[in-house]
Structure 1
Amino acid sequence: MMRAIHIVPVVVVILVTALSSVFIVDERKKALVLQFGEVTQVKEEAGLGFKLPFIQEVVYYEDRILGLQTAPIEVTLLSDRRLVVDAFARWRITDLVAFRQSVGTGGEDRAQVLLGNILTQAIPEVLGRTTQDKVLSQDRFALMNQILEIARREAAALGVDVIDVRLTRTDLPEQNLAATFARMRAEREREAADEKARGGEAAQRVRAAADRTVVELTSDARRQADVIRGEADAERNRLLADAFGKDPEFFAFIRSLTAYETALRSGQTSMVMTPDSEFFDYLRGDRAEPPAAPAAPTAP
């Protein structure tokens, strides 16, 4: 019984020592075995690994592709125009030993800072030799490849491979935006004024053509009306002449009644004349002789 009591602690110590000598590497990770800060083992494959217990330690690093978003950088282009540019990069650890020596105990966070500094220097170096048109056109892919080559060359010393670099923002600085917007607004207002002027000119032409058409139609209608009126007057005079020739007495009677109607209409000017005036011959019941027939009207 006493022997069993002494064996149990020994077994526990052996189990703890055995467990502390084993480590597991996830498939998304890489591992370094360090002894007093020096690299003694590199474990890049997933699975079990072994180390000296209590003396060696295991440090894990990402085996996946990581992303880096740079801070906005103000760049002066070849045409003396200034742009605010930022970029996005993708990178991966390729040499664990070199990576450990470069970043120390900072790990991936320290690598992000160092890569950001590399890109901050590479972007002005490349964009400073080009113009705004190339930065904003399809040629920017060639510019991004140049930035990628510089970043990849500089990052190789860190044990890192820069896979891709993309320019995500190319804007004017805040102090230039107001002037640019004002210039764009002035150009749009000038284009709007030109469109209004062309529209007013076209409207004036349409209005002038309509007025000319109205004058032409009105003149033609008046001409036709004058012709019809003249033909009607000629027909009336012909009928009057025929009637006068057939019965002068009846024609004189009708003309007198028309004169009575016109002269005695209410609201007309008053007339003063003697009762035996010839104007009232047809109003008297009996007369000595018929009035002389008026002369036949002449055709116009």
Structure 2
Amino acid sequence: MLFKRLTLIWALVVGLLLAHNAYLWLGQRIVPDTDILALLPVQQRDPVLQQSFTHMVDAAQQRVVVLVGAPDWDDAKRAADAYQKVLDARPDLFASTPLTERTESDWLALFQRHRLSLLSIDREASLREQPAQFWTEAALAKLYSPFGGPKLGSWQDDPFGLFGDWIQERARETPVRPRDGHLFVADDKRQYVLLPLTLKLPALAMGTQRQVLPLLEQAAAAARAALPQVELIRAGMILHAAAASGQAESEVSTIGLGSLLGIVLLTWLTFRSVKPIALILLSIGIGCLGALSVCTLL
């Protein structure tokens, strides 16, 4: 009697697990979170620190940089346009930012809000060492000289040209320059169009990688169709994450399948019967269903 009651209770538990998993997969259509950063502990004590950490990680992992190179600049532009056209067809994956004068102004607007605290190294030293007369003459020179350097905003906003000097110092840190509506960089042999891409989905999620990598290959094929001798150089966290996740997935699958086959083989060698094997596989399956339900509820 007690055995029959326990059997009914266990059957009820299994039925509830089956119903809950059916609801999760068919009703809610859950998608496993394959972002490895989700495994990191959350900093609960300092929300500002957690927010800044998340912002920095997202800014780094969402970037993909592609260099499209050719000996001739016009050829490089043509191949880059073909590459970009393929990506523009998937606005759900990539955020497109065309390079215009408005774009450059938007880039500078972020720094202009903090221009009073942005100083180049040389100007910071000059502020400590030079007398007031030096700065008076510098301001007058900026006001009256037609060759006083780039003017970002009105003279009243930056009479000493401190912000302009800081921008020039930042510009000297990179060889990339705007040219014909593209970002341009070159070496001794080739001229490159730099395509800065921003992902809209988490780069460390395997679902994103399965969508983005084939699209990048399709874009590369379009660029090579437009210019067979084109050189393509790609960089981005998603490329390394995809290679690592592919290797990890293969290793986990191999280990899991090997363990399952080992259990089945040992059971067969011990009992010489199919029934114990079926019972073990059934218990493993019920355990997986229970683990999924508990993890979802928690």
Give the TM-score band, short-chain normalised: under 0.3
- Which one has the largest radius of gyration? 1
The TM-score, its normalising length taken from structure 2, stands at: 0.21
Choose between structure 1 and 2: higher helix proportion: 2
Q: Higher strand proportion, which one?
A: 1
**Please, what TM-score do these two structures have when normalized by structure 1?**
0.21
